[in-house]
């Protein structure tokens, strides 16, 4: 069932991109009726703006293009999506974690980051992590130390899967820096050292791994438990890696004029990541935690000293600014 839903989303999204490439003045939106539900699913992915930050301002020969961070926005009928494209030849993407909770903007400004997104899952009651995090080769967040997670009787049967969820990793392989999205217990590749990692999940690509990572229980094709509301639209954050080792930071925000029925489902998010070029991708904490920070040129080409975009809105359409436990930040190498 999950595969079928994702395939439908991918077809609709892809058709929308094809239509937006046509020279037509009214190409901003293309809506398709989702079979069997009667709900409207926009397939346009219309790019509304783009700006860049050069990794190296030094002049380059005319026949070369400097590696840049690209900030893009896309509009669908249910979401306004912020995308940061990070070329890994010139930039690093690394996690950061705090003792309590902090706003994404505070993380980014303290570290002098160019961009960032919210990171792994945490318990808002005790402010402890439910995701593994490694920074500079040292484990700095361990979900097994969270008593509310480990002693929850409703989760006992699922703990093995919870503790082996997907994580975004940075390796040092000789002189090369490499990235991957893999399960927590997967071994480090031969000849490489694990520099950093941040767990979240579920894996979005190459296939959505809801039940494998204990985010949902599906019986006879029907959801009997769905911890993330995966099939419903909500604010979402994700990270992806392309074939060219470009890293994608993506935050799908709810629309302020539709606070209860906007955002993306996880199958839609997976399809979106695939169309952006990701071959592997992972969902991050979402909902009220969803946020993306960017420092560079804004949509009008003016210098932006640092702007945070939030994903979730309340019933009145106001953006929700929630402090988080961990983040992923972008720095120049």
5-38 residue pLDDT tens: 455 555 455 444 433 332 222 233 323 323 223 2
Residue in the block written with tokens 């070329």: 87
Interatomic CA distance for residues 41 and 232, integer angstroms: 12
pLDDT band at 1 (very low <50, low <70, confident <90, very high): low
pTM of the model: 0.84
290-320 residue pLDDT tens: 999 999 876 667 778 899 999 999 999 999 9
Look at strands 40-42 and 31-33 and give their pairing: antiparallel
Q: Residue 219 to residues 163, 169, 208, 224, 226: CA-CA distances in angstroms? A: 22, 32, 16, 7, 12
170-222 residue pLDDT tens: 999 999 999 999 999 999 999 999 999 999 999 999 999 999 999 999 998 88
Count CB-CB contacts under 10 A for residue 287. 17
**202's tokens:** 């579920």
SS3 105: helix
């Amino acid at each position: 069932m999950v595969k079928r839903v994702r395939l439908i989303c991918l077809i609709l999204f892809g058709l929308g991109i094809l239509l937006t490439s046509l020279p037509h003045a009214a190409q901003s939106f293309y809506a398709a009726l989702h079979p069997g539900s009667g709900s409207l699913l926009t397939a346009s992915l219309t790019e509304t703006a783009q700006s860049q930050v050069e990794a190296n301002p030094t002049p380059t020969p005319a026949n070369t293009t400097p590696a840049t961070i690209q900030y893009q926005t896309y509009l669908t009928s249910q979401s306004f999506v912020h995308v940061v494209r990070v070329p890994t030849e010139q930039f690093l993407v690394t996690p950061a974690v705090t003792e309590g909770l902090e706003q994404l903007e505070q993380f980014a400004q303290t570290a002098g980051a160019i961009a960032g997104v919210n990171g792994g899952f945490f318990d808002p009651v005790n402010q402890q992590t439910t995701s593994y995090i490694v920074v500079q080769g040292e484990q700095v967040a361990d979900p097994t130390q969270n008593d509310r997670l480990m002693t929850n009787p409703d989760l006992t049967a699922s703990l093995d899967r919870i503790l082996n969820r997907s994580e975004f990793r940075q390796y040092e392989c000789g002189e090369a820096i490499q990235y991957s999205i893999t399960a927590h217990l997967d071994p480090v590749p031969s000849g490489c050292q694990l520099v950093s990692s941040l767990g979240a999940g579920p894996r979005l690509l190459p296939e959505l791994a809801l039940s494998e990572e204990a985010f949902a229980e599906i019986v006879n094709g029907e959801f009997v438990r769905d911890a993330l509301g995966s099939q419903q639209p909500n604010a979402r954050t994700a990270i992806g890696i392309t074939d060219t080792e470009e890293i994608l930071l993506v935050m799908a925000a709810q629309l302020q004029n539709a606070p209860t029925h906007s955002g993306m489902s996880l199958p839609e998010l997976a399809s979106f990541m695939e169309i952006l070029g990701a071959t592997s991708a992972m969902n991050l904490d979402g909902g009220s935690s969803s946020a993306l920070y960017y420092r560079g040129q804004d949509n009008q080409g003016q210098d932006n000293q640092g702007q945070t975009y939030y994903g979730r809105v309340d019933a009145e359409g106001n953006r929700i600014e929630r402090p988080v436990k961990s983040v992923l930040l972008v720095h120049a190498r």
